[in-house]
Structure 1
Amino acid sequence: MPQILTVLGARPQFIKASPVSHAIAKAGMSEVIVHTGQHFDALMSDVFFDELAIPRPAYNLEVNSLGHGAMTGRMLEKLEAAMLAEKPDLVLIYGDTNSTVAGALAAAKLHIPVAHIEAGLRSFNRRMPEEINRVLADHVSTLLFCPTRTAVQNLAAEGITRGVHAVGDVMFDTTLAAIERSAGRSAILERLALTPKTYSVATIHRAENTDDPARLAQIVDWLEQRARTAPIIMPVHPRTRKLFAQRGISPAGLTLIDPIGYLDMARLVHHAAAVFTDSGGLQKEAYFHRVPCVTLRDETEWVETVDAGWNRLWQGPDFAERRDIPDYGEGNAAHLISELIAGTLK
C-alpha cells in the first residue's frame, strides 16, 4: 500500500487537506500527517481537525513563534527525522507557508517525490516570503497540482512542464461541503446578532501589512471608514491582536472576535455583504460563496478573481464586470489529485 506523508502547519492547509485526505483513504493509500506546529493555538489548529474530520497528526513538531529562518530550519531538521522514520513513497505539501517550503526541501534532499497542491501561483512580488516559498516548492516538486490555467502558464514560463496537472481548486471542494454542513451546525449569526447581507467580514494577518506600522494604520483607517456604513466583523489572528495592543490600535466601529472554526467562518462569509482581507485563501472562498472581496494588498496571486469582477485591490480600480470562473473546477479536485498520485505510485 503506497504511503503518503502530508505536511501541514497553518489554518488554510488544514482546510485544503480535508477533501484530499478523504480521497487518499478512499483510493486505498495510507497517509501519515505531520503537523509542524506553525499554527498552534487550538482555535487556529485543533478545531479544524475536529470539524473537517481530518485524521489526527501522527507527529506534532511544535515549531512556532520564530523568525522565518529559524522556523524553517527547525522544521527542516524535524521533518527530515520524520521522513527517515516513516520512509514515505511521496511527500504532499500545500500552499506557500514556511511549512510548505520546509517539507519540500526536506523531501527533495532525501530524494522523496514531492507533490505540491496549489502549484504555480505567483504574485510576482519577491519581497513576500510566501512568493519565495511558492517558487522553491514548485522547482523541487515532481507532481504539481494547479488550481487554474494561469498557474500552469506561470510554471511553463519558468521552464516547468513535466508533472504539471490542472485539477481545479481543492478549496472549492471544501467550501461546497462546508456551506451545507455549517447551515445546521453553526450559530455564529445568532451569537453575534447578525442579519444576512447587512455586514462585512475582515481579516488581516500578512507580515507585509502587520509589520509596517504606517501601513497597518492605513488599512485600519480604511476599514474604519467602511464600518461607518455597515458593521464589520473581524476575527483577529493572535499575532495581529498582539500588535494592535502594542501599538495602541483600537479600530473604531469594528467588532473584533477571536479566531473561529471553519464552519462558523463559512457561514459568516456565506451571508456577508463583502469580504476585506489580505488572505489568499479567503479571497477565493469569498468567490465560492459569491461574495465580493476587496484584497488589502498591492497584488494578488488569484488574478482570475479580479478579472472576473469578484475581487479588487483596495487601492486599485473598481470591480470589473462579474462572471463565473470555470478554472476552479467542479468540486472534484481532491478526487483527481488522489487518482494522479495513485497512478504515479503504481
Structure 2
Amino acid sequence: MRITIIAGARPNFMKIAPLIHAINRSREKGSSLSYRLVHTGQHYDKNLSDTFFKDLNIPNPDVNLGVGSGSQAVQTANVMIKFEEEMINHPCDYVLVVGDVNSTLACAVVAKKLHTKVIHVEAGLRSFDLDMPEEINRMVTDALADIYFTTTPEAGYNLITTGAKNDQIYFVGNTMIDSLIANQSKFVKPAAFNELNLQQKNYLVMTLHRPSNVDEMDKLARIINLIDSKFTDKKIIFPVHPRTRQVLEKLNLSTQNIHLTEPLRYPEFMYLVKESFAVITDSGGIQEETTYLGVPCLTLRNNTERPETVSVGTNMLLAFDEELISATIDQLQAGNWKTGKVPVFWDGKASERIVEVLEKLA
C-alpha cells in the first residue's frame, strides 16, 4: 500500500511523527506499507516547521510544495495546484491528511478528484462554529474521506450523524499525545527560562493566533492588558505566532508581566507548558496537551472542537467576557481549579492502532 502523508502546519508534524515511526517499525517486520511525505509549506517559518523534522526524528519530506502565506482562498488554491502536480507525478493508493488546516482540505479535494482514497486522522471533531475556518476544513475533509481515525467516541458519533458508516470509523486515540509521551524525556529549557529567572509552577504560558482574537486590534489590546494586570506576581511567557506579531507591532503595547519570545521549538515549548502554573490559549492542540499533563488551561474561545478537554480534562472555555475572564483568573490563583483526567486511548499507542488498521486494509 502506497500512502502519501500530508503535513503543512506546526500541529501536523506532531501528529504525523509517531505515525511515521509506527510505519517504519512495521516495515522492519516485513510490512508492505510505504509512504511519501509531502510538506505543503503552509508554515514556512523555520521555527514553525523545519525544526520539527529534527526534533521529532522524522525524515526530511520527499517534497516541499513551498506554498507560503496568503489569504484562505489563495493558500488553499496554491496547495491544490501544486499538490495536483505532485499526485500526477507520484500516484498512490491513499492520501493521509491530519487535523484541520488549509492543507488538509486542499489535499483531500485534489485526491478525491484524482480518484484516490482519503484517510483523515483526527476526524469528526466539531466546534459547530462556521466562523472558524478550521471548522469548514474539518467538515469538507470528513465529507470526502473514506477512512476515519478518531480521537474520541464523540467524534465518531459526529461522523455517523453526517452519513459516515460504522465500518469506516476507527477509534484509535490521539497521535499528538503519542508525540508528547514519546518526547517527554527530550523536553529542554528554552533560553528564556533562565533569562527571565522563571520558577517551576510560578509562571504562565500564553499563545494567541485565532482570527477572532488577534485580527481586531482593540480586542487583542484588551485581552493583553487584562491578563497583564491580573498576574502581578507571575511572569507570562508569550511565544508569538507571526500572524499575531504583525498586529502587536501596530499596537505597540507596554506590558509589565507579559514577555514576548519568538516561536519555540517543540521540546522547548512543551517544557514551558509542562512546568507552568497554567496556560492561556486559543489553540486546539494545547487544550489536549495541557489535559494530558494536568496543567490548568484557560481557552479564550466561545467553543471547542475538543469538548473532552473541558468535560474530562483541565481545560475551561472563556468567551471574551472581561468579567468572566477576571473572575476565572481569581479562581485559578486561589487554587480552586478542577482536577482533570486523561481521556480514553490517550496512551501513546494511537499510531500503532492506526498502522494495525492500515495493514488490514493493505
Shift of 1:320: 7.5
SS in 1 for 2:109: helix
More moved, 59-68 vs 245-254: 245-254
Compute the displacement of 1:62 (Å). 1.2
Given that 1:219 and 1:296 are in contact with CA atoms closer than 8 Å, whether structure 2 keeps it comes out as no
Cα separation, partners in 2 of 1:176 and 1:226, compared to 1, 3 Å = farther
SS at match of 2:303: coil
Listed one character per residue, the Cα deviations across residues 144-193 of structure 1 (whole Å, up to 9, x for unaligned) are 1100111111111212124111101011111112211225x866633542
Indicate the SS of the match to 2:290. helix
The alpha carbon displacement at 1:125 in A equals 0.2
* Per-residue CA distance 1:288-333 (angstroms, 9 max, x = gap): 2110100011111111111125111124696874341333432100
Partner residue in 2 for 1:10: 9
- 1:74 corresponding residue in structure 2: 78
Checking the alignment, whether the CA contact within 8 Å between 1:308 and 1:320 is kept in structure 2 is: no
User: Which residue number in structure 1 is paired with residue 353 of structure 2?
Assistant: 336
Instruction: For 1:37, give the aligned amino acid.
Output: G
Q: In 2 relative to 1, CA 309–142 (structure 1 residues): closer, same or farther, beyond 3 Å?
A: closer
Q: Specify whether residues 130 and 181 from structure 1 end up closer, same or farther in structure 2 by C-alpha distance, changes over 3 A only.
A: same
Aligned 8 A contact 2:152 2:344 in 1: yes
Aligned residues: 343
TM-score calculated relative to the size of structure 1: 0.94
Distance change in 2, residues 1:246/1:94 (3 Å): same
1:1-346 aligned at under 5 Å gives the runs: 2-28=1-27, 29-161=33-165, 162-182=167-187, 189-315=193-319, 321-344=338-361, 346=362
Query: Which residue pairs with 2:333 in the alignment?
Result: none
- Read off the aligned partner of 1:27 and give its amino acid letter: S
**Residue identity opposite 2:270 in structure 1:** A
Output the amino acid matched with 2:42: Q
Q: Distance in 1 between matches of 2:186 and 2:346?
A: 21
Structure 1: give runs of 5+ residues left out of the alignment.
none
User: Retained in 1: the 8 A contact 2:221–2:251?
Assistant: no
1:149–1:327 contact (8 Å) kept in structure 2: no
What is the TM-score when the length of structure 2 is the normalising length?
0.90
Superposed CA deviations along residues 117-157 of structure 1, whole A, max 9, x for unmatched, are 11000000011110000000011111111001111111112
* Bigger mean CA deviation after superposition, 257-266 or 23-32: 23-32
| Paired-residue identity, % | 39
3-state SS of paired residue (1:43): helix
8 A contact 1:36–1:60 mirrored in 2? yes
Q: Offset of 1:33 from its aligned partner?
A: 1.1
* Contact 2:217/2:247 (<8 A) preserved: no
Gap runs ≥5 in structure 2? 28-32, 329-335
Counterpart-to-counterpart distance in 1, 2:236 and 2:353: 38
